[in-house]
Structure 1
Amino acid sequence: MDFVVGDLVTRVSHQHDIVFRICSIDDNTAILHGEDLRLEADAPLNDLEKVTERDKKTYRENEKEQVDYSFRLFRQDYQLMKEKRIYDVSEGYQQESYFQLPARVLHLDGDRHYLKKCIELYKRIGLQVHGSYILETDMPAEIGGLIKRIQPDVVVITGHDAYSKKRGDKNDLKAYRHSKYFVEAVREARRVESNLDQLVIFAGACQSHFQSIIRAGANFASSPSRINIHALDPVYITAKLAYTSFMDKVTVSDVLRNTLTGEKGLGGIETRGFLRTGMPYLGEE
């Protein structure tokens, strides 16, 4: 069977558990990126099987249903937060004459395909984002300059990762594809802004070394149980922070409520929100 970059495939040896995209082929080995999970893997071509058109359709329908469900949960949560903001800013009077200043977001992604998906969701949620496609290995060198230029409130540092038993035990950073670079990128970001509430950082991908990323200075990270995380989870974490008042703290359970992965794949520390609300709203000048 002939394979080309971009084909959707599964691995026979793993009982076709995850749908991957082929990102590159070298001799008889393919580098694979999860289609909706932030996982990187490699596999011999003879272990791969193409996803049929019928299975593609079923897979995409199921994925859309899952994403739409999470989005509905977020919208319900957002509506409750909105009602509380209106009440607080108007001292109990129900009026819509107010304006709000949500967080500025910088999103670094090691996958161009995922970055596009995330930006679409940011727009759907109503957040402005500066998205940058940067290979995980280049993130530590690039992030400081981007933070100084964009001056974000929230930074997302993500892409692909994976843990390999062959490379070492779970406490060894060398056993992970990209955790080392996520850690270094977080440290570089903290050299620019050390305050955990002035600059909130999410970092990590599938199976990433959660403890090292948090110790480096991230507010939220993956993956406590070394499981795979969904491509869109960083967006839902960012949205919760962006639409929570700067007067309120966001607990970890609050942040994870609308994610697709949950507490086994994501964790962090309690952090203040960023939204500032004011009134009256005078319209565009």
Structure 2
Amino acid sequence: MEIKIRDIVGRVSYRCDILFRVIDIRYEDGRKNVILYGEDFRLIADAPYEDLIKVDPSKRMKLSREFQSLEEQSFRLFRQDVDLLKEKQEYDVTGGYTKPVKYFQIPGKVLHVDGDPSYLKKCLMLYEKVGVPVFGVHCNEKEMPNKVGHLIDYYRPDILVITGHDAYSKSKGKITDLNAYRHSKDFALTVREARKKVPHLDQLVIFAGACQSHFESLIQAGANFASSPSRVNIHALDPVYIVAKISFTPFMERINVWDVLKNTLTGEKGLGGIETRGVLRTGMPFHIEYHDQE
């Protein structure tokens, strides 16, 4: 069966463990080579044409249901976390519920720059679902370092997400060698450019990385949170859970790293970071204009 661009496929040599979208088919040294993007993971890979098979719709549906169940569980736990944060904030603002104070909250504003338009769309839907104010920009990973400064000036975010696709290739070097990664160097350069604009770690909170990314270089470049400490694949929606938690945490509170990671789909093997302040701000009074009814 012929394989075409945008088909969903699996790699026979890997027992079709991950679903991929076909992005490009190239002829290299007389052979067909296929560029693949993970369907649920932020992974980029290439494979010989003959190693690929189209995924049976029933298997694709089964895997999709499994991931959907994980996403729903993660969302439910995250929602509980946010509700607890809101209850604690209400308790503090009202002096232990002793004063009937009307107040309002301004969650942290997110700029999400993504190398994959399909993943960006999924993430934006989840941000909207949890109520995080967000601007989404699709940008090729290699163009991110040149564009991030202008984007920060234009959107003035509290939280910056730099993500897309990545992968470690053993044939290109040791696991410590940044050149052995598909886009880790681009992500690290982008973080450095962002830090030229906003050097302080608590004035602009940065998440950077994708599947198998060089975690240490991203943290050293100035990211607060990054992937992937154990060089594992991260789920497409993991960055959203991290930055949404930061967005809803009051700016006077420090975020314990484990508290941020515990409700992600990948956990501490795929994600890590440093102690960071929240960015939510509370104000008062909450004023609602109303007009006398005639």
Q: How high is the TM-score relative to the length of structure 1?
A: 0.98
Displacement of 1:96: 7.6
What amino acid is aligned across from residue 236 of structure 1 in structure 2? Answer: Y
**Structure 2 Cα separation of the partners of residues 104 and 81 of structure 1:** 17
Picking from 29, 52, 72, the partner of 2:33 is 29
**Structure 2 Cα separation of the partners of residues 2 and 283 of structure 1:** 61
**Structure 2 Cα separation of the partners of residues 16 and 68 of structure 1:** 24
**Structure 2 Cα separation of the partners of residues 213 and 87 of structure 1:** 37
Describe the superposition over 1:146-172 as per-residue Cα deviations: whole angstroms up to 9, x where unpaired.
001110000000000000110000111
**Structure 2 Cα separation of the partners of residues 129 and 68 of structure 1:** 21
After superposition, the Cα gap between the structure-2 partners of 1:78 and 1:13, relative to the gap in structure 1 and judged at 3 Å, is: same
Partner in structure 1 of residue 70 of structure 2 = 66
Partner in structure 2 of residue 18 of structure 1 = 18
Displacement of 1:279: 2.6
Q: 1:166 aligns to what SS in structure 2? A: helix
What amino acid is aligned across from residue 18 of structure 2 in structure 1? Answer: I
Partner in structure 1 of residue 232 of structure 2 = 227
Counterparts of 1:153-172 in structure 2, within 5 Å, are 153-172=158-177
Picking from 203, 206, 209, the partner of 2:208 is 203
**Structure 1 Cα separation of the partners of residues 169 and 89 of structure 2:** 46
Stretches of 4+ aligned residues off by more than 4 angstroms = none
Q: Does 1:244 align with 2:249?
A: yes
Moved more, 238-247 or 85-94: 85-94
Picking from 121, 130, 136, the partner of 1:131 is 136
* Runs (5+) with no aligned partner, structure 1: none
Counterparts of 1:110-125 in structure 2, within 5 Å, are 110-125=115-130
Partner in structure 2 of residue 56 of structure 1 = 60
Q: Does 1:185 align with 2:190?
A: yes
**Structure 2 Cα separation of the partners of residues 26 and 132 of structure 1:** 28
What amino acid is aligned across from residue 136 of structure 1 in structure 2? Answer: E
Describe the superposition over 1:196-245 as per-residue Cα deviations: whole angstroms up to 9, x where unpaired.
00000000000000000100000000000000000100000001100000
Displacement of 1:98: 2.0
Q: How high is the TM-score relative to the length of structure 2?
A: 0.95
What amino acid is aligned across from residue 35 of structure 1 in structure 2? Answer: E
Q: What percentage of residue pairs aligned between the two structures are identical?
A: 58
* Runs (5+) with no aligned partner, structure 2: none
Partner in structure 2 of residue 103 of structure 1 = 108
CA contact (8 A) 1:89 1:279 kept: no
